[in-house]
Amino acid sequence: MPMHGKRDDTVVHEREPFNAEPSPAALDGQRVTPTDSFFSRNHGPIPEIDPRSWHLRVDGAVDRTLELSLDELRRSFAARNETVTLQCAGNRRDGLIQVRDIPAEHPWGRCAIGTARWTGVLLADVLDAAGVQPEARHIAFAAPDVSQIAHPPQPYGGSVPVSKATAGEVLLAWEMNEEPLSPVHGAPLRAVVPGYIGARSVKWLERVTAQREPSANYFQAVAYHLLPATVEPSQTGAPEGIPLGPVSLSCEILRPGDGEVVRAGRTAVSGYAHVGADRTVARVDVSADSGRTWHQADLSEQHHPWTWRLWQATVVVAPGPLHIVARAWDDTGSTQPESTEQIWNPKGYMNNSWARVRLSVT
């Protein structure tokens, strides 16, 4: 049985720490993902935090160090409610694993992504109250959950550039979908960093530090780096790779399911498309002949700047085995690479290759 209030059809990759994603059917067609269908990614046990004694500390290269209780945060800053998509950097890793094994990493499918309505305050407002000094280049987040995956084992952390932290889009949130944050999603307070890999949206946040360098935490300095394909992740002296921040353009097919049997004729296809940085999804193409001919999908409105766009299309399928593929385009005219072979990387991050489902058509 799934735990932490998740739906029964949730795919649990690991119970402790809890790592789980919803089924494609649970995600399909919902612009805002119900909390019971929202993926959860944890690197260590959920920490036990007493909200009455909990404080957020804001320190480092600031004019004033702040210690704020949840009540003080709520009282001192304007509340904001934003709809934001979070996507794990390991989303769609199972496609990369089919190219070559990626040991010790979860084989996330297509649903380590979700969109929620987050309520909290702007990190920019809190940093403004603390007065970030000019030498600060990065804002580091620290949490108390100790991860045994890290070398050496250490509490979870990460950072974002000051420009992102002060841009007026990063939230310190205490509510998800109009409910208080649940323990598994980071209660009492978490960062929500729109457009960045989920790893930077640090849960159980207890410290925000303005500093010259990016966080030295394992999950910023070592993990979540895009390594060249030829590198052994554990190799000493290996190149560091690209530290991941903004999420690249990708899309997925949520219906029909991979391996499904469908009848010949018109078939409805639907899914999501998402891109980070300051880009937006501009178009999604769907093909029922592995990319020889393309149909343009209908896209949901972009109501909020930091959310995915859902799409749907109807294609005609002929009897036999076939692949339906999809690719998104963003507002800079960029699109996705076709194959997983071209983008395989040793830790299995950022699989932004075309979406693909195999069907048997009868």
CA distance 60 to 140: 9
Q: Which residue of 35, 42, 85, 307 would you call a contact of ligand MTE, by CB under 6 A?
A: 42
Q: Which helix (H) or strand (E) holds 10?
A: none
CA triple 38-247-60, angle to 5 deg = 90
* Under rule CB under 6 A, residue 204 binds ligand MTE: yes
- Closer to ligand MTE by Cβ: residue 115 or 335: 115
What would the x/- binding string for ligand MTE be over residues 19 to 38, using CB under 6 A? -------------------x
By C-beta, is 47 or 337 nearer to ligand MTE?
Answer: 47
Give the footprint of ligand MTE on residues 284-323 (CB under 6 A): none
Q: Which of 93, 117, 185, 347 binds ligand MTE (CB under 6 A)?
A: 185
Residue of 39, 218, 306, 311 that binds ligand MTE (CB under 6 A): 39
In whole angstroms, how close is the CB of 181 to ligand MTE at the nearest point?
A: 9
Q: Which position among 84, 88, 136, 251 is part of the footprint of ligand MTE (CB under 6 A)?
A: 88
Smallest distance, Å, CB 163 to ligand MTE? 21
Contact between 113 and ligand MTE by CB under 6 A: the answer reads no
Q: CA 246 to CA 277: how far, in whole Å? A: 5
Nearest Cα residue to 224 out of 169, 157, 165: 157
How many other C-beta atoms are found inside a 10 Å radius of the C-beta of residue 243?
16
User: DSSP for 213-270?
Assistant: S---SHHHHTSSEE--TT--TT-TT----EEP-BPPPEEEEEESPTT-EE-SEEEEEE
Q: How many CA atoms lie within 13 A of 234 on its CB side?
A: 6
Q: What residues make contact with ligand MTE under the rule CB under 6 A?
A: 38-43, 86, 88, 143, 145, 156, 185-186, 198-199, 201-204
